[in-house]
Amino acid sequence: MVALCLALCLALLAGCGADPVPDSAAGEVRRLLERRAHAVLDGDEKAYERTERPAPGAADLFGNVRGIPLAAWEYRLSRLERSGSRATASAELRYRVEGHDRAPLVAERTLSLERHGGRWYVTSERPAKKAGEQLWDQGRVRAVRGATSLVLGVGRSARELRGYRALADRAVPAVRAAWPGKWPRKVVVLVPRTLKGMAGLLGAPASGYRGIAAVTTGEAGGSGRAPADRIIVNPEAYGVLGDFGKQVVLTHETAHVATRTQTSPATPLWLSEGFADWVGYRGTGRTAPQAAPELRRAVRGGQLPDALPKDADFGFGRDAGRLAASYEGAWLACRMIAERWGERKLTEFYRAVGGHEKRAGAVRDALHDVLDTTPEEFTARWRMYLHSELG
């Protein structure tokens, strides 16, 4: 049964030189947000309309959200600044998508309010300053459910979203076969209208994600209580890929969903990204020269890497060719482990590194304990592997 949590926490905070919020105004706004949350969750448009007097140009939040299968929606008021008949509220919006989120996702929101006829109304709701957008801030959300996926899109036809659904539903069992153990075994895919929309969801400049087909959000670590990850697609970069490339990307991102609880600050990016690529290419029959063209070009040009890629080598703002070569080198490191020591040893190695208390010594200890080798020997073997596969 869909549950609605309407506990609203009120912190009466003073603004810069302002007096604390009067209890009467805070209580009225708290009850207004309760009614608004009930209306959104129940899909009651008339009740929702009674909570607002929309300003010109204000987004139609109710219409934009109504396609999303929600299990919870609540506001927690944290600050209220009032000036006569107008006020600005800061609140945490906590929501869950039914069947996917184990805990609420939290979005910082700013609501403009107006008092009219003895009652408060919302005139607009928007992301708080410096907070990322939610998909519904960009337009009306369309939802398409799959066997193991939920695809949410803005400005996308149902046919387009069904295409994403098919890819995601193939990605989940592929990852399940490669990564044994407990994970949600389902994914939520967000498809914004543009690259700018993707950047808005991530709260970052669009320039940093140009050429990146998709990213996965989520808290790294092993609490197991965090909400489900979101795979966010860059429709501009993703759209130019062929069917094979699109499948590899979604399988790669789904691998991040699966491994998140075993990924920690001790995990270097060469391992997390290389493993995700290994899962993406696993069983596809792609050869090293086919899947690693940039690194092949470097190796054949006499530029064999001296060391495994560093975290900084995976920065989205880097030169596209060098970034691709970093991913390719990481993939081949994981591919080498799977071939030389076996797939089970690869997953054991991943877990051992992520389970280390700190970054220092994590890879060294896992190489010793799981693969019975040293970083120096492993790097030398990897360089020989690159030469034999790509030279």
Q: Are residues 127 and 163 in the same domain?
A: no
Q: Are residues 193 and 273 in the same domain?
A: no
Whether residue 268 sits in one domain with residue 391:
yes
- The per-residue pLDDT for 211 is 85
Residue 2 lies in a domain: no
Structure tokens at 121: 């109304």
User: Are the CB atoms for 390 and 292 separated by under 8 Å?
Assistant: yes
In this structure, is residue 14 part of a structural domain?
no
Rounded to the nearest 5°, which phi and psi values hold at 152?
Answer: -120, 125
Supply the DSSP symbol for 341: T
> Can you give the residue range of the structural domain that contains 328?
263-391
Q: Are residues 125 and 139 in the same domain?
A: no
Q: How many distinct structural domains can be found in the chain?
A: 3
CATH number for position 234: 3.30.2010.30
Residue 47 sits in a domain of what CATH number? Answer: 3.10.450.50
pLDDT given for residue 1 in this prediction: 37
Residue 5: inside a domain:
no
Q: Which of 101, 131, 161 is the last residue of a domain?
A: 131
Question: Cα 132 from chain centroid?
Answer: 12
Assigned domain for 12 exists: no
Same domain membership, residue 318 and residue 269: yes
Residue 180 sits in the same domain as residue 127 = no
Say yes or no: 239 and 308 in one domain.
no
Paired residues of 191 in beta bridges: 153
**Do 391 and 275 fall within a single domain?**
yes
CB atoms within 10 A of CB 70: 19
Q: How much of the chain exceeds pLDDT 70, in percent?
A: 91
Query: Is 187 a domain residue?
Result: yes
- Going by C-alpha positions, the residue among 92, 89, 88, 60 that lies closest to residue 73 is 92
Count, residues in the chain:
391
pLDDT tens digits, residue range 135-152?
999 999 999 999 999 999
Residue 302 lies in a domain: yes
* Claim to verify: residue 282 and residue 200 sit in the same structural domain: no
Question: Are 161 and 73 part of one and the same domain?
Answer: no
Q: Does residue 79 lie within any of the structural domains?
A: yes
The order of strands in the sheet holding 119-127 is: 70-83, 86-97, 105-116, 119-127
pLDDT at position 318 is 67
- Reported as type and span, the H/E element at residue 301 is none
Average pLDDT for runs of 10 along the chain of length 391: 34 35 80 98 97 94 97 97 95 96 93 96 96 96 97 96 97 96 92 95 88 81 53 94 96 96 95 98 96 96 96 82 94 98 98 95 97 98 97 87
Domain edge (last residue) among 260, 280, 297: 260
Phi, psi of 146 (to 5 degrees): -120, -175
- Looking at the fold, whether 180 and 121 belong to one and the same domain comes out as no
Supply the pTM of this predicted model: 0.88
User: Among 260, 285, 302, which residue terminates a domain?
Assistant: 260
Q: Is residue 15 part of a domain?
A: no
Q: Are residues 150 and 93 in the same domain?
A: no
Q: What pLDDT, on the 0 to 100 scale, is given for residue 4?
A: 35
